[in-house]
Amino acid sequence: MSRIGRAPIAIPAGVEIKIEDNNVVTVKGPKGTLTQQFNPNMAIAMEDGHIVVTRPNDAKENRALHGLTRTLIYNMVVGVTEGYKKELDVNGVGYRVAKEGNKLVMNLGFSHPVVMEEIPGITIEVPSANKIIVNGCDKPRSVRSVCLSLTRARASSMLTRSSAARLVRPAPRSKEVCHNDQQTRYQIPAHQAPQARAC
């Protein structure tokens, strides 16, 4: 049985979950309401304050759907209670962003600004001229899609495969560490080193 699929999902306080016909699950919490329909092969039930997902047999498709269904429901519960957040840095000479009402105005080197409006369930914050924060309760269909649209707003050349807005990543390692790794990586083994020939 799927290790992820068999794990029950605890229902936090203040969260209402409704399971309707055709495996339509509605999760309502402090940050919003999410509804999604799941594969009819999966059995979704509420037991002792938990959501339990079971599968009818060990067919390949059902094994794959088991863990997926449980993960999607868990993401819905987390979304309506804690929410999801993505931070993006805007990098480029003269690039800057600003918030005007419910619109995100981005100056990305074009002759005109790029404007994007907030969609329902998503809030966009601009704490500085080079940082964007996207908040929402729907992880796959809202937060990720908005971040993807932002990263494609000003694509650079295909040689660098970078973009104007990119997800925040850990700081790069120091030059000293990278230099030591490079020396170790390109060191020629003793048995492959060229041998001097006798005259």
For the chain, domains (ranges, CATH) are 9-81 (3.90.930.12), 84-167 (3.90.930.12)
Of 25-29, 81-85, 185-189, the range with the highest mean pLDDT is 25-29
Average pLDDT score over residue span 124-149: 84
Q: What is the pLDDT of residue 189?
A: 52
Q: What is the pLDDT of residue 35?
A: 93
Q: Is the pLDDT of residue 158 over 50?
A: no
Q: Which two tokens stand for residue 158?
A: 């295909």
Separation between Cα atoms, residue 90 and residue 104, nearest integer Å: 13
pLDDT tens digit sequence for 86-105: 888 888 788 889 999 988 89
pLDDT tens digit sequence for 43-61: 999 998 899 999 999 899 9
Q: Quote the pTM value.
A: 0.70
More confident residue, 172 or 48: 48
Separation between Cα atoms, residue 95 and residue 106, nearest integer Å: 8
Average pLDDT score over residue span 33-45: 93
Q: Is the pLDDT of residue 70 over 60?
A: yes
